[in-house]
Amino acid sequence: MSIEVRNLIKRFGSFTALDGVDLKVENGELLALLGPSGSGKTTLLRIIAGLDWPDEGEVAFNGEDALARGARERNVGFVFQHYALFRHMTVFENVAFGLRVQPRAVRKNEAGIRARVKELLDLVQLDWLADHYPNQLSGGQRQRIALARALAIEPRILLLDEPFGALDAKVRKELRKWLRSLHREINLTSIFVTHDQEEALEVANRLVVMDKGRIEQIGSPGDIYDNPASAFVHGFIGESIVLPVEVAEGSVRFGGSLLNIAPDGAACGASKLFVRRHEMAVGPSGSGVFEGTVHHVRSFGPVQRAEVALAGGEVIEIDAPRGKELHAGDTVGLQPRRYRIFAA
């Protein structure tokens, strides 16, 4: 099912959580809402679920108004960060809950409910835990049960609010992969909220980057990484070197001296130069637009991460390939291979 959100505004007192959000989610898509805390991503998700109501704007499912209905009638699967399992019920009863509270006319009989719960527990690969209580489960298992419970009612869309936020790093990685393959299997329109860029880049087909209640950029993970639309997105997604520069007619100045790079259409005035750490080429002194002294080098895996103090005093971190080892005290020239300039 497709979801369309138009000009959504939500205020909590004087705080504007959503400031005119427009978004269209295609049928079968796995979309990530990414942003720092307070960016409005969870509020947006809760409004789509019917757990919160916007002050202005529209939400439509398959073209029909969703705001006319409450959470209970929207047929939306919602997965909470802290699982929100019913702790007085077994895993089986947790998953069966949505089926047991259906109106009598459409409710399955006991055998039908058992079959459906079994099917879902098999789907999340936890059928052997059916008689356990939630507190006897690990965090990862609890979240899979919460997902099975949400899927029991055959929801039209699936919403996940920081589903892996409370789990440790290793479990989180496993569950990410598992969620992606599960999505391939059931192909349900899904939105998940996260503040973890790695998670968003890895799981989603499409990414929505949010900040301060607004959408900053929408695109594929690769697209957003390579062509960030704003200074915020460049800084938030991936590691960046940020330097203050002054843009004038056709020239870029850094700390008073002219840099031999084009402003690329950036507006005149105080600006910021963004370069990815690995896109700063390191050469001998005099070979680049920046001069610097290596302070400190840490080598691991395929890269050596060097802390370089520039002539103006700024200290930046760069990732250079292994092979030509850098040493503390070296004087180097730095040349950005790719860069972006945004107004400060």
Partner 1 sequence: MGLTLTWLSVIVLIPLAGLFLRTLELSPEQFWSILSSRRTLNALRISFGLAFAAACVNLVMGTIIVWALVRYRFPGRRLFDAIVDVPFALPTAVAGVALTALFAEKGWLGAPLAELGVKVAFTPIGIFVAMVFIGIPFVVRTVQPVLLDLDPEIEEAAACLGANRWHTIVRVILPSLTPALLTGLALAFARAVGEYGSVIFIAGNLPNVSEIAPLLIVIRLSEFRYADATAIAVVMLVVSFVIIFAVNRLQRWARSRIPAD
Instruction: Give the footprint of partner 1 on this chain (CB under 8 A).
Output: 49-51, 70-78, 80, 82, 84-89, 97-98, 100-102, 133, 135-136, 146, 149-150, 152-153
- For residue 97, the SS3 value is helix
- Nearest-approach distance from CB 275 to partner 1, in angstroms: 42
- Please report the beta strands in the chain, taking only residues with DSSP state E, as ranges in sequence order: 3-12, 15-25, 30-34, 56-61, 64-65, 76-79, 157-161, 189-194, 206-211, 214-219, 240-248, 251-254, 257-259, 269-276, 280-284, 290-300, 303-310, 315-321, 331-336, 340-343
- Nearest-approach distance from CB 68 to partner 1, in angstroms: 16
How many other C-beta atoms lie within 10 A of the C-beta of residue 14?
5
Residue among 86 and 258 whose Cβ is closer to partner 1: 86
Residue among 167 and 320 whose Cβ is closer to partner 1: 167
- Nearest-approach distance from CB 152 to partner 1, in angstroms: 7
d(CA 343, CA 272): 6
- Nearest-approach distance from CB 31 to partner 1, in angstroms: 19
- Nearest-approach distance from CB 232 to partner 1, in angstroms: 30
Residue among 136 and 285 whose Cβ is closer to partner 1: 136
- Nearest-approach distance from CB 116 to partner 1, in angstroms: 13
- Nearest-approach distance from CB 46 to partner 1, in angstroms: 9
Contacts of 210 (CB under 8 A, 6+ apart): 21, 33, 34, 35, 39, 40, 41, 44, 216
d(CA 308, CA 277): 12
Residue among 137 and 209 whose Cβ is closer to partner 1: 137
d(CA 305, CA 325): 11
Residue among 72 and 184 whose Cβ is closer to partner 1: 72
Local structure of residue 277 (DSSP, 8 states): G
Please answer whether residues 46 and 126 qualify as being in contact, where contact means their C-beta atoms are separated by less than 8 angstroms: no
Tokens 């055998």 belong to residue = 111
Please answer whether residues 34 and 194 qualify as being in contact, where contact means their C-beta atoms are separated by less than 8 angstroms: yes
d(CA 161, CA 326): 44
